[in-house]
Amino acid sequence: MGRRTLGEPGWMRALLIALTLGFLGLFLLVPLAAVFAEALRKGFGAYMASFDDPAALAAIRLTLTAAAIAVPANVIFGLAASWAIARFEFRGKSLLITLIDLPFAVSPVIAGLVYVLLFGLQGWCGAWLAAHDLQVIFAVPGIVLATIFVTFPFVARELIPLMQEQGAEEELAALTLGASGWQVFRRVTLPKVRWALFYGVILCNARALGEFGAVSVVSGHIRGRTNTVPLHIEILYNEYNFVAAFAVASLLALLALVTIVAKALVEHAARRRGALA
């Protein structure tokens, strides 16, 4: 491997590396540094004071709640969908695979609007929900639904190709040895896909914490009640409260960094065990 075997000149290699690094620096590292610089501009005390706001704490709590519901829901859906797609032949399978990718193709704002159309006061189910005193839109359920919608491809997309590649022979072998369906899942399937599953969960969690568009539409921006962290940042920014806005934003940025490190660790561990395709 290397320059000589591939045959391109040294200056080309240097140029490509410089381009990549320059691009990364300009579009990723500089903004990231700016977030922290802005957040700490008025000192560490002002930075910490930004989190002393009940609205900020409520936003953090709501975001964590939404993620805590969306991620497990995603795991269940992802396992079910990938099992069905990898193990069975049925009509409409390719349609299902396409549909799983839909949230990637559709603008999150549209996803939010669809929920408003369905569950809003003027929506299809609005009257029924109002009659039963249930509120979805401009409330926590709507935020959770929107978060689930935008994140649901993550786990399934990690698992489907892996399960298809691994096949079902190990599961059949477990069955011949007398294992029950649950034992097959628990002792064979889950360990086989655990790294891919973990990887999908990390990505899904990152998206759940950071989702803006879809949540923005269904939230109603009620401070302290239906604001998630990204929405809270926007409000602070619009109020020219830059230090607080960037301080809260730095929290999300920090989470993103943790996610990247976790992802790298998972990839490393998976490669070492040869468990990820």
Contact residues toward another protein (CB under 8 A) are 169-170, 172-180, 183, 187-188, 191-192, 273-275
Q: Which residue number, 61 or 187, has a Cβ lying nearer to another protein? A: 187
DSSP string, 180-204: -HHHHIIIIIHHHHHHHHHHHHHHH
Cα–Cα distance list, 269 to 56, 273, 276 (Å): 36, 6, 9
235: nearest Cα among 243, 109, 227: 227
Closest approach, Cβ 202 to another protein, in A, equals 20
Q: Which residue number, 107 or 180, has a Cβ lying nearer to another protein? A: 180
The Cα–Cα gap between 209 and 51 comes to 17
Six-digit token string for 150:
């935008």
CB 209 within 8 A of CB 254: no
Cα–Cα distance list, 115 to 111, 148, 204, 226 (Å): 7, 12, 20, 15
Closest approach, Cβ 190 to another protein, in A, equals 9
Closest approach, Cβ 3 to another protein, in A, equals 33
Q: In the block, which residue shows the tokens 């002792």?
A: 187
Residues listed for the chain: 277
Q: Which residue number, 52 or 169, has a Cβ lying nearer to another protein? A: 169
Q: Which residue number, 38 or 170, has a Cβ lying nearer to another protein? A: 170
Closest approach, Cβ 172 to another protein, in A, equals 6
Closest approach, Cβ 160 to another protein, in A, equals 19
Task: Provide Rg for the chain, Cα atoms.
Answer: 23
Q: Which residue number, 20 or 183, has a Cβ lying nearer to another protein? A: 183
